[in-house]
Chain A
Amino acid sequence: MRSPRKLLRALPLVELGALVLVALACLAFQLRLPDRFPAEADYRAVAGWLKAEARPGDAVLLFPWWTEKARLYLPPELPVYGYLGSDGDDLDAHPRVWVLGQPELPRADAAGFQAAFLPGRTVQGAPRRAGRLELTLYENGRHRPRRFVASEAYARARVYLESPDGQRRDCAFDGRTHRCPGPPHLYVAPEWHEILYQPRRCLWMHPPGGEQRLVAELDGVPGGTELRLEGGIIFEHAWQRSPRLSTTYVVVEDAATRERLLEVAQPPGLEGVQKASRTLPPGEPRTVRVWVQADNPESRQMCVELLALGEAS
C-alpha cells in the first residue's frame, strides 16, 4: 500500500489533471454552444409551414417554455404558449397543438417535457426539422370544445354593483367596457393579465369592497355542459399575506333560482388560477350571475373566466 505522504504528493498532479479536463470541457461547451441555436432562416421556415398548414383553433407550444424568440416570426393569428409551467397546460381550447422544440439546448429536459405534455396527446406525423428547430403536430386529447365563454359574451352582459339589501347600481357599457360608479378600477372587460406567470385573457372583476358585490349577469349558458369557473388574483398581489387583506370570493349563481352553482375563495397568499366546475343538467340555456366580493378590496385584483365545455373530442 502506498504511504499517505506519497498519495498527498500526487494530489497536485491529479488536481491539475482534473482542472485541465474541466477547462477542456468548458472550452468545448463555449465553442459548440452557438451551433445549438437556430438561425433566422430556420424560424422563417417553421413560420412558413405553420402559415400553410395550421388550422383555426390550433396553438403552438414552446419547448423549452422560455424560447419565446419564436414569437417574432410565427403567424400572429396563431396563439403561442410558453410560460413557466406551460408544459403541463391542457391547452383545452385547442384541438391540435404544434410543439416547437429546441431539444438540443443545454438543460432542455425533453423527458420532463414529454412526461408533462404527452398524456392525452397523439402525435400526427413525423417531427419536421428546420436547423435546430423541431416542429411536431399533436392531436390534443385534452381538448374541450367551448359552448360558452364569458369573456367573449361579456358585451351582452348586465353588470351592476349590488348591495346586501339587493339595491343595484348599473355599470354602463361603453361599447368595450362595463364601467361602474365609483373608483376607476370598478369595471368589467376582458383583458390580458398574469396569474402566477400564466398569461390569461379573462374578465377583469375587481371586488368593490365591504359586502358589496360586482355582478355580471350572463345569458345563454347552455345546459348539458360542464360549467367551469376559473379565476385568480393577478400579478404579485396574490402572494401578499398581510392580515389586513381579505379572502376574495367568486361565485356563480343561477340568476332565476339563485342556486349557487360554483364558488372559489382565494385567501391572501394563495397564488395561481383557482378552478371549480360542475355538470349542468341538459335543458334550455340559462342566465347566470357571476359576482366577486372581498371585505377589503386592497390588492384583490381578480380576473375571472366562466366556461361551458362540451364533451372531450
Chain B
Amino acid sequence: MTSRAATREERWLAVALWALAFAALWATESAVGFTRDESVYFYASESYARWFQQLWHNPSRALTDAAIVRAFDYNHEHPALMKVLFGLSHLLFHDTLGWLRPAAAFRLPAFALGALVPALTFLLGSAVYGRTAGLFAALSFLLVPRHFFHAQLACFDMPIAAMWLLVVYAFWRALDDRIWGVLCGLFFGLALATKHNALFLPFILAPFALWRAWTVSEKQPVARTGLWRVVGLFATVAVLYGVLLVALGPVGFQKKFLLLSPHTLLFAGLAVGAFWLPHELNRHHPPTALALLPLATMAVFGPIVFYAHWPYLWHQPVERTAWYLNFHATHNHYAWFYLGQLLRAPPFPLEYVLVKTALTVPTSLFVPMVTGLLALAGRAVLGLFERTRALVRVPGLTEALVGVNAVASLLIISHPQVPHFGGVKHWLPAMPFLGILAGAAVARGCEALVERLRVWRPGLSLATVAAPVFALLLLPALVGLVRVFPYGTSVYSELAGGLPGAASLGMQRQYWSSNVTAVLPWINEHAPPNGRVFLHEVHGLSFRDYQRNGMLREDLRPAGPFDADIAAYQYHQEFREHEFNVWESFGTRTPATGLYLDETPQVVVYQRR
C-alpha cells in the first residue's frame, strides 16, 4: 500500500483544526487592511454575483456573450472560481442577510480555503510521518505571520496553496483508491479555476504516476504494455498538437481551434483514450490502471472544469484562454527591494526565493524545515548506493512526493526571468509540504528522546515530550505574529533581525498598501470636513472599501499629493519621489504621525500647513 485513508480520529482532528483556523481567521480579519488586488477582486466579485442574479431572473439574456462580458470582463486576468465564491458569499451574508460587513462577507470563502491547509497538512503529514509530525505541520502553518496574513485576504494565493495541497492529497490517495482518482481530476480543475500556479501540477505529478505504474507493473507484461499504450497516447497527442502549432503558427493554431477542428478532435481522442485504456488495463492489472487514473482525470476534467466554471470563456474559449495564458507568461515586473538593491527587471538573483523564505518564516519553524528537507535528501542520496543503503530508510514514493512538492514552487519562482515581487505569496503552495518535513524533523527528535527517557521512565508518553517541544518551537512565531499583526507584509524573522534587521539589510519594507489601516483613525480625527486625502499606493477601490466598511470617514475624498489636505505615504524604496512630492507640496518635511513598526517607517502621514 502506498497511501492510506485517514482514521476516524484523524478526520475529527482535521475537522477541529479546520474549525480552529477558520475561527481564528474570521475573528481577527477586521483589523486587516484591503490590499490593492483585494479591492479589485471585491469589485469583480460583486459584478460576477450580479450576473448570477441575472441568470436566475433572466437566463436567456444572462447567457449572451454581451451580458457575460459586461459582468466578467473586469479582472479577466484571473479565473473566476474564487471571485464567484467571494461574490456569492457577499450577496448572501451582507446584501441579503446583513449579518456581516462587506469585507468579512467577501473574505469568508478565503477563510474556508485557508483553513483547509492545516487540516489537509495534518492528514497528509500524519499518514506519512505520524500524528506528531502532522500536528506540528498543521499548527505551525498559520503561525507563520505571512501565511496568516494571506489566509485572511479575498485573494488567490492561499486558496491556490490549499487547492495544490488538495490535488496532491487526492493524487496520493488515488494510488490506492479509484474514487480519489476521479476526485483528483476534479480538484485539479478547481485548482486551475483558482490560479494559474495549478498549470504546473501535471508536470510535477505525472512522473509519480508513471513511477508508480512502472513499479507495480514489473513482471506483468500485459500491464507494462498497457502502461506504454497510455504513455503513447499522451505522447502522440502532445506531438500532434506540436505539429499543428508548428504547421499553423501560434496565430493560426489559435484561429483554427474551433468546435469542429483537429484540435478538438485530438482532445476528444485523448479523453476517450485516457479513460478507455486504463479501463481495459483494469481488467488485467488494477494497480497499474489505478496509478494511471489521475493522469486521465487531470487531463480530461481539468480543462473541462476550467472551461465550465468561467462564463467568460463560454462563447470564445480559445481566444480568451490564450489571452489569459499570455497575460501571465508576459507579466509585468514590479520594483522590489532586496538586500539593498532595487530589482526592477530580470535576471533576478537565483537565491532570492531561498533568502526571502529564510528571512520571513520564523526561524524556529524555518530551521526544522531545512533539517527535514536535508534529512530526506540525505536519505535519498544514501539510498542510491549499495554500501550505504542499509544505513537508512530509503524514501519511497510518498516521501518523494512530499519532498518534490516542498521544493517545486520554490524552484519555479527561483527562475531569474520569473517576476519576483510579492514576497512569499507566489510560492505558498510549497509551504505546507515544508511544514510536513519540519514536523517529521521534530517528531523524530521527540521519538528519539522518548526512547532514551523510557530507560528511566518506562511509562513516558510521546505527548509528554512533544508538547513542551511544540510549545517552545511555536511560541516565538506566535509572539512575532501577535506583535506585528495585522501588518503581515512587513514581517521578518529572527534570522533577519526582525523588522529593524530587515530594514538595515535593505529588504522590502511592505507592499500592497494594507498597512494604511494604522493611520485611518488619525485621519478620521484630523481631516477637515470633506477633506481631500492622498492615500499613497492605496487603490481607488480600496479607498471606497475603507469607507463602506466604516474605517474611513464617508465625507473624505481621494486626492493626489499636490491637492490633498492630508497625505499618507507608504514607505517603498522605489517610491521615495512620492514622499518628496509631498514635502514640496505641503511645505514641510515633518510628519504629523505615522506607522513605525518596531521603529521601521511603514506609513508616514503629512498634514498640509
Contacts and interface: CB of A to CB of B under 8 A. Distances in A.
Interface of A: 4-5, 8-9, 11-13, 15-20, 22-27, 29-31, 33-34, 36-38, 64, 66-69, 71-72, 74, 76, 80, 83-84, 102, 105-109, 191-194, 197, 199, 234-236, 239
A67 B599 contact: yes
Interface in B583-609: 583-584, 588-591, 593-594, 596, 598-601, 604
B599 A69 contact: yes
B264 interface: no
B449 A16 contact: yes
B599 A23 contact: no
A235 B576 CA distance: 8
Contacts of B588: 76
Contact of B479 (A5, A20, A27, A80): A27
B83 to A, nearest CB: 32
A37 to B, nearest CB: 5
Interface stretch (B271-279, B498-506, B523-531): B498-506
A288 to B, nearest CB: 26
B55 to A, nearest CB: 45
A86 to B, nearest CB: 12
Contacts of B497: 105-107
Given A12-B444, A37-B599, A236-B335, A19 B506 contact: no
B364 A191 contact: no
B501 A107 contact: yes
Q: Pick from B441, B506, B590 the residue with the most CB of A within 10 Å.
A: B590
Given A12-B444, A191-B584, A234-B577, A23 B476 contact: yes
B577 A194 contact: yes
29 contacts: A9-B448, A15-B375, A18-B371, A19-B364, A24-B472, A26-B362, A27-B472, A29-B494, A64-B503, A64-B504, A66-B503, A68-B604, A72-B590, A76-B588, A76-B589, A76-B590, A84-B506, A106-B501, A107-B496, A107-B497, A107-B500, A107-B504, A107-B505, A192-B580, A192-B581, A193-B577, A235-B576, A236-B574, A239-B344
Nearest to B342: A239
B577 A5 contact: no
* 10 cross-chain pairs, A with B, having the tightest CB-CB distances, nearest first: A16-B445, A106-B497, A26-B476, A235-B577, A106-B501, A107-B501, A12-B448, A194-B577, A23-B364, A107-B497
Contacts of A107: 496-497, 500-501, 504-505
Contact of A106 (B473, B480, B500, B583): B500
A214 B593 CA distance: 40
Contacts of B583: 192, 199
Given A22-B367, A199-B576, 12 more contacts: A12-B445, A18-B371, A19-B441, A23-B473, A27-B364, A30-B494, A31-B479, A66-B600, A74-B590, A80-B589, A105-B599, A239-B342
Contacts of B581: 192
B500 A20 contact: no
Nearest to B588: A76
Contacts of A5: 391
A31 B498 CA distance: 12
Contact of B371 (A19, A72, A105): A19
Nearest to B574: A236
Nearest to B509: A66
Contacts of A37: 598-599
B461 to A, nearest CB: 17
Interface string B355-369: 000000011100110
Contacts of B505: 107
A89 B146 CA distance: 36
B10 interface: no
Interface in B418-460: 441-442, 444-449, 452
Contacts of A105: 497, 500-501, 504, 599
A17 B483 CA distance: 27
A109 B589 contact: no
A198 B597 CA distance: 23
Contact of A15 (B335, B371, B496): B371
A9 B447 CA distance: 11
Contacts of B591: 71-72
B137 to A, nearest CB: 14
Contacts of B599: 37-38, 67, 69, 102, 105
A27 B476 contact: yes
Nearest to A109: B504
A271 to B, nearest CB: 9
A18 B367 contact: yes
Contacts of B600: 66
Contacts of A191: 584
A34 B599 CA distance: 10
A22 B363 contact: yes
B444 A15 contact: yes
A184 to B, nearest CB: 12
Nearest to A17: B445
Contact of B391 (A4, A66, A74): A4
B467 interface: no
Nearest to B367: A22
A15 B369 CA distance: 12
Contacts of A109: 504
A193 B581 CA distance: 7
Nearest to B497: A106
Contacts of A16: 442, 444-446, 448-449, 469
Nearest to A82: B601
A231 to B, nearest CB: 16
Interface string B475-500: 11001100100000000001011101
B312 to A, nearest CB: 34
Interface in B249-293: none
A142 to B, nearest CB: 23
A50 B441 CA distance: 54
B573 interface: yes
A306 B289 CA distance: 80
Nearest to A200: B580
A94 B403 CA distance: 58
Nearest to A30: B479
Which of A15, A34, A69, A71 has the most B CB atoms < 10 Å from its CB?
A15
Interface string B56-77: 0000000000000000000000
A82 to B, nearest CB: 9
Contacts of B392: 8
Contacts of A239: 342, 344
Interface string B384-403: 00001001100000000000
Nearest to B595: A69
B346 interface: no
Contacts of A12: 444-445, 447-448
A52 B183 CA distance: 74
A13 B452 contact: yes
A107 B475 CA distance: 23
A29 B447 contact: no
A14 to B, nearest CB: 9
B340 interface: yes
Contacts of B475: 23, 27
A72 B500 contact: no
B397 to A, nearest CB: 23
Nearest to A8: B391
Contacts of B371: 15, 18-19
